[in-house]
Amino acid sequence: MPDEKPGALWNDVWSFEQRLRAGAGRASPRPEDAELAGVLQHIAARRRTRLAAPQLRAVPAPALKPPAAPGSVLGVERVTPQIAILQLAKPAGFRFEPGQHIKLGVPGGPKNPYTIASAPGDPHLEFCIESMPGGRVSPRLSALAPGAQVELGPKASGDFTLVPNVHTHVMLATVTGISPFRSMLRAAAARGTWSSRFVILHGASFRDELVYQEELQALTQQFPQFVRYVPSVSRPTDARNSGFSGLKGRVADLAVAFLQELRARTPGRIQVYACGHPEMVGTAHSSLEPLGLPVLSEVFD
């Protein structure tokens, strides 16, 4: 509370409270308190009338809306015509580690594994789906609307998770390959404790394909000593990238010089992760591992 003298209002409240406390100890109103006695008699008469009246039946509480069935589409965000973020109802007791995946599909159709983009503590499951030409699953999933149903695999799996005892995690992603890293960062932010640094190099052909860019930039601003988000586009001269102020070039190519500089300034262990386009993942392995930088990878569907 501020160390200020209470104003007139607080004085009035205090005085009124003192009068109530003093009056509470009296067995009955004094004769001179005729007005107060009249008020109390009126209250007593109203109470007798109310008790004598028939009791009203209680109005039943409105029925609670049943929870959505596991896999129900709760929300859809259209990032581009080809990319959609789906929020799905989470099965009761569902557990996973940030970076793991689960199989998804429309009822009666085939299923593919998709990495979970939400954190374990989030109330729903979130997936970032890019519709791939000729794909068996992604075009169907990305076209769903709220209220639709998605079939979920029985459990999450995969070992594309954070390596322990690392000073700096460097994450290379293209487009929707950012999903596992978003899950990892959300989980770390929710814990409120940071034992490592995170550097994210996120690339796409076009700036509007940089999924979760604003959220990851906000994490960088909130935790600047632990998170650094670096976006890049590979077609900087395209009109679709007008006004983009990030890096220009392919993620795997930018990563070599970036990591060499980072390693010169980082005293602890660096672990590299790559998720996204197969060509980017392959280039990360072939260009970084000869430099003594281990790469853990996952090709994103």
Q: How far apart are CA 225 and CA 228, in angstroms?
A: 8
What's the confidence (pLDDT) of residue 56? 47
Mean pLDDT of 223-235: 96
pLDDT tens digits along 94-129: 999 999 999 999 999 999 999 999 999 999 999 999
What's the confidence (pLDDT) of residue 24? 44
What is the fold, at CATH topology level, of the domain defined by 168-299?
Rossmann fold (3.40.50)
What's the confidence (pLDDT) of residue 249? 96
Task: Return the domain boundaries, the chain.
Answer: 73-152, 168-299
Percentage of the residues of the chain whose pLDDT score is greater than 90: 73
User: Across all residues in the chain, what is the average pLDDT?
Assistant: 85
Q: What is the DSSP letter of 64?
A: P
pLDDT tens digits along 174-196: 999 999 999 999 999 999 888 89
Percentage of the residues of the chain whose pLDDT score is greater than 70: 78
What's the confidence (pLDDT) of residue 40? 57
Within this chain, domains 73-152 and 168-299 share the same CATH topology: no
What's the confidence (pLDDT) of residue 67? 83
268 has pLDDT over 70: yes
Please measure the distance between the N-terminal and C-terminal CA atoms of the chain and give it in whole angstroms. Answer: 56
pLDDT tens digits along 25-47: 444 445 445 555 565 566 566 65
Please, what is the Cα angle at 158 between 156 and 162, to 5 degrees? 110
What's the confidence (pLDDT) of residue 36? 55
Give the confidence band of 247 by pLDDT, cuts at 50, 70, 90: very high
Kindly state the tokens that stand for 213. Answer: 């860019």
Pick 73-152's CATH classification: 3.50.50.60, 3.40.50.300, 1.10.1040.10, 2.40.30.10.
2.40.30.10
